Chain A
Amino acid sequence: MADRTRARTRRASSNDRLRSRHRTLMDMRLYSVLGFGGILAVFALIGLLFFLRPSTSDVEKRELASFPAFTTEGFLDGSFFTDLGLWYSDTYPLREPLVSAGLMLENLHGIQPSMQMVGGNVAADSLPVEGADADGSAAAGDAAVVPGVNDGPVEVPSAQTLQEDIQASIMAGLYVKDGAAYSVYYFVQSAVETYCTALNTCADNLAGEANVYSILVPNNSGAMLSEDELAGLGGTDPREAIRYFNSLYNENVHPVFVYDTLREHNDEYLYFRTDHHWTQLGAYYAYVEFCKVKGTEPADVLNWERMRFEPFLGSFYDTLGLSEMEADPDYVDAYIPTSTNELVFWDEAGARYDWQVITDVSDWARGSKYAAFIGGDKPLTVIENPTMEEGPICLVIKESYGCAFVPCLVDDYKTVYVFDCRYSDYNIPQFVREHGVDDVIFINNMTLASTDTVAERLLWMSTE
């Protein structure tokens, strides 16, 4: 009897224990549901804090989506709601910390080899035999009709399309080695032909009035990597590609071949490792080569007053987020011209700003140090040299590679005008005549010169 009672008591106590464990488990599950719901509620509440919503992203260097305009059509086809969703997520107040957490999560996807190739597989057009394009028209140098190039009105690419196109070209095929990224050059036949036609057109329009120079700057892989390494990357031989460009120019365009010079000096700090631009030292060697072609004595740029901005983590770092880059960042050396450090630029809205040739960007974000040069990319920048009463005038047509190059010219000219070809709407020949320009210098990175949208825009700007 006593045994049975003890057994019953044991069973009861065992059942109690099981019930208690079950309750514990269920309680914890309840907390889980409450936690889940609580997180959703908190995030939803934060989403309602409209006054905290940002309009631009410093980290991503872009404008965030704006609140969509309501249209009946957009409402009915659902695009209004899609845009609303995009605006909500893009401007969500906690987005940046969440993005950082998301990028950390992505880093857990695998291991980062010290040597890598990212950005996908890109097919380059094959490089034609030098100068022998389909009908010889561009090489003939008469701004003749090239099918699909200038055989009809050219639709001018908008700044936004240009930016996206350029971004895609630069970030396609990145070779990463020991914490430095190298962009690979891919030849694009149609763009190269358009680019050369643009320069030929400009030079023909200005024949006898101004000299037109072409400086094509190789990507860092072309200038800095060994021949074997470069050949192993796929892509197009940049030296041959620049020679092909040059072969398509007519006699009115003066090519400045900087490729070999840069390679001769490639044990120096000519390009950044974490950014797709070159340093001012790289730009200086191109400037020396330009002076040789022009037949003038180069200024003693490297002995000008120097400012150093560090640390600099540029576009490659933004895209790749490699810890190796963060551990060994770049620095920007900038040389202040002796004649002046003043300039004026106009932004896209037409507002005028007084600025500096070399700006002290020590306090700027670590990704923005390249903006030390001529205030960055503007539709029109003007630098007046106060030490010259009379003197030559030049116009530089460039994208961001030209920013580091322009300061080298300041002491040599009475006035330096600068167009950023992506934002400027001027007609080049007309501007040259109106302002008495003597030298027109096209300086562009060769990948950008091989981008259809850039080339088409230059053709539009060069055609009267």
Chain B
Amino acid sequence: MAAYLAVPTRFKNPVLLASSLVFYAWGGPRYVLLICFEALVSWFCALRIAGSKGSMRRIWLIVELACLLGLLGYFKYWTWILTGTHALAGVPADVPQIVLPIGISFYTFQLISYVVDVYRGTIRAQGAYWKLLLYCSLFHQCIAGPIVRYETVAHEIEKRTVSERDIYEGVRRFSCGLAKKVVLANSCAAVADTLLPIGGDALATQVASGCWLGMLFYAFQIYLDFSAYSDMAIGMGRMIGFHYLENFDHPYQCSSVQDFWRRWHISLSSFFRDYVYIPLGGSRCSQAEYVRNMAVVWFLTGMWHGASWNYILWGLYFLAFLLLERFVIRDRLPKPVGHAAALLVVLVGWVLFRFEDFGEMTSVLAGMIGLNGAGLFNLSVHTAFLQNIFLLAVSALACTGFGSWLRRRLSTVAGGGDVAVRVVGALEMLTPPLLLLISLAALAGASYNPFIYFQF
């Protein structure tokens, strides 16, 4: 950051690229070559598409898709596919364990969106390879999204300005994201893992209230964690003049399952909408084709989240509810009922998402309706509930738009007088440093690992 601020404008992008690649290399330097290669293929294909006519454009697009999806398939799904064939037919004898390169799902989709957009003529091909590499490797969003479209940042890669307000808002957004991740999401994860540990037999003996409470904490964890990464990416981007689009819009305030997906991981949903669903015909087609289009999109959405059948099941589970809403419910539910029903669908969906092992998944689902024979309540769940009751309340609040609403209200109040502006200003001033300090303490607290058997 210091180097970025210190260098003249023309060196800012090279410094940003170098720091992004170093950051990426931290997780395994060999995969830097992969991201460089994917960017090279995309840069080359996009230039060929821009410089070709007729069927050649399509051929270069196919080359791009085959290459990037092939690499994604190899790194993300090959082990899973071979594990399946090994289980079914014993082939191959030894399943190779391929390590998943960090962020490959995100930057592959970014590069595909870039080349497809060039093919469609909505953006111009980038002439400089290193600028395309900068786009896909920008350390803010390369690892955990959002899936930033090239058109969103094309102009800012070439020329960007940073206002005083941008810097403050960026720092503030980053510190909110950091606190959301390390104070709330990590704590929710600890409770969820205690109540519903993955692996082992304890899961089968969890009481019904424990299953529900565990899944509630997991639902908070997954939203707060994921949206925190987006907050930090958006914040860091803004500090240096990039304006990324929002990736979440308080999804747990949804009024229906469809509304949930309008608010959840927007950059992924819109990717599938623009590059799969609409090209297949979208909703302006026969009912059968519509169902097929939706099935393809939700199968892919599930599969994108991980190489395991439970993710595909999770995608198809949402497909079923989306079709139910479209063809049976048709907006006829009163708003509160629709909201509650959507939350219930999402919460049960998280069970499918959390447990890759189908035995564990069914055990928790059975536990939630009291069919695992463990009973309804026990002291352990009661303790976990009371010990985390404030965490639960704050996490629930953090999932709503309360924070933004409060800030808007305060901003209105600040216009009312000199004292008000000083009070609101003090709040604005203290929020980011305080959140940073609290986050550092929470990070350290999480590493507390007393070892009782260390020799006295």
Contact = CB atoms under 8 A, between A and B. Distances in A.
Interface of A: 17-18, 21, 24-33, 35-36, 39-40, 43, 59-63, 75-78, 81, 89-90, 92, 95, 98-99, 101-106, 108-113, 115-123, 162-163, 166-167, 170-171, 173, 175-176, 232-234, 276, 315, 318-319, 368, 370-371, 376-377, 400, 422
Contacts of B455: 376-377
B436 A40 contact: yes
Contacts of B442: 102, 105
B210 interface: yes
A29 B390 contact: no
Nearest to A171: B452
Given A36-B175, A77-B28, A77-B30, A90 B447 contact: yes
Query: Helix, strand, loop or mixed for chain A's interface?
Result: helix
B405 interface: no
A61 B387 contact: no
B432 interface: yes
Given A32-B431, A59-B450, 5 more contacts: A29-B168, A60-B450, A98-B443, A99-B447, A101-B441
A36 B456 contact: no
Contacts of B449: 60, 62
A99 B452 contact: no
A21 B450 contact: no
A109 to B, nearest CB: 4
B320 interface: no
Contact of A167 (B27, B195, B452): B452
A121 B384 CA distance: 11
A102 B415 contact: no
Given A98-B444, A103-B448, A122-B202, A33 B29 contact: no
30 contacts: A21-B414, A25-B421, A25-B428, A26-B168, A28-B426, A29-B428, A32-B168, A32-B431, A33-B432, A35-B433, A36-B433, A43-B440, A60-B451, A63-B454, A77-B30, A78-B29, A89-B443, A89-B444, A89-B447, A99-B444, A101-B444, A102-B442, A102-B448, A110-B385, A120-B194, A120-B202, A122-B202, A163-B453, A318-B452, A319-B450
Contacts of B28: 76-78
**Chain B at the A interface: SS class:** helix
Given A123-B205, A370-B456, A118 B380 contact: yes
Contacts of A163: 451, 453-454
Nearest to B197: A120
A115 B379 contact: yes
Contacts of B380: 117-118, 120-121, 173
Nearest to B391: A109
Given A81-B26, A101-B444, A120-B194, A35 B418 contact: no
Interface in B171-215: 171-172, 175, 183, 187, 194-195, 197, 200-206, 210
Contacts of B387: 109-113, 116, 118
Contacts of A78: 26-29
A109 B388 contact: yes
Interface residues of B, number: 75
Contact of A35 (B27, B187, B429): B429
B445 A32 contact: no
Contacts of B172: 32
Contacts of A276: 452
B428 A62 contact: no
B454 A61 contact: yes
A32 B169 CA distance: 11
9 shortest interchain CB distances as A-B pairs: A102-B445, A78-B28, A98-B444, A371-B456, A62-B451, A28-B425, A116-B383, A123-B201, A101-B441
Interface string B390-405: 1110000000000000
Nearest to B451: A62
Contacts, number: 218
A232 B382 CA distance: 14
Contacts of B171: 32-33, 36
Nearest to A84: B26
Contacts of B452: 61, 167, 170-171, 276, 315, 318-319
B7 interface: no
A105 B29 contact: no
A22 to B, nearest CB: 8
B421 A111 contact: no
Contact of A39 (B429, B436, B451): B436
Given A21-B414, A62-B449, A102 B454 contact: no
Contacts of A25: 414, 421, 424-425, 428
A117 B421 contact: no
Contacts of B454: 60-63, 163
Nearest to A20: B418
Contacts of B168: 26, 29-30, 32-33
Interface in B16-49: 25-30
A103 B451 contact: no
Residue among A101, A110, A118, A234 with most chain B CB within 10 A: A110
Contact of A318 (B165, B444, B450): B450
Contacts of B205: 121, 123
B99 interface: yes
Chain B CB count within 10 A is highest, among A105, A111, A376, for A105
A125 to B, nearest CB: 9
A39 B441 contact: no
B358 to A, nearest CB: 19
B429 A109 contact: no
Contact of B451 (A61, A99, A108, A110): A61
A115 B446 CA distance: 24
B438 interface: yes
Contact of B453 (A75, A115, A400): A400
Nearest to B28: A78
B430 interface: yes
B436 A36 contact: yes
B102 to A, nearest CB: 8
A121 B207 CA distance: 9
Nearest to A448: B453
B59 interface: no
Interface string B129-143: 000000000000000
A116 B121 CA distance: 64
B305 interface: no
A76 to B, nearest CB: 5
Given A31-B429, A117-B378, A76 B445 contact: no
A288 B434 CA distance: 59
Contacts of A59: 450
Contacts of B366: none
B158 interface: no
Contacts of A232: 379
Nearest to A365: B456
B106 to A, nearest CB: 18
Given A31-B429, A102-B442, A113 B187 contact: no
B441 A368 contact: no
Contact of A123 (B202, B445, B446): B202
A239 to B, nearest CB: 21
A141 B398 CA distance: 62
A355 to B, nearest CB: 12
Contacts of A422: 453
Contact of A121 (B167, B195, B436): B195
B429 A105 contact: no
Contact of B383 (A77, A118, A170, A319): A118
B421 A21 contact: yes
Interface string B117-134: 000000000000000000
Nearest to B438: A105
Interface in B364-394: 378-380, 382-392
Contacts of B385: 110
A163 B452 CA distance: 8
A113 B382 contact: yes
Max count, chain B CB within 10 A of own CB: residue among A95, A98, A112: A98
B379 to A, nearest CB: 4
Contacts of B441: 98, 101-102, 104-105
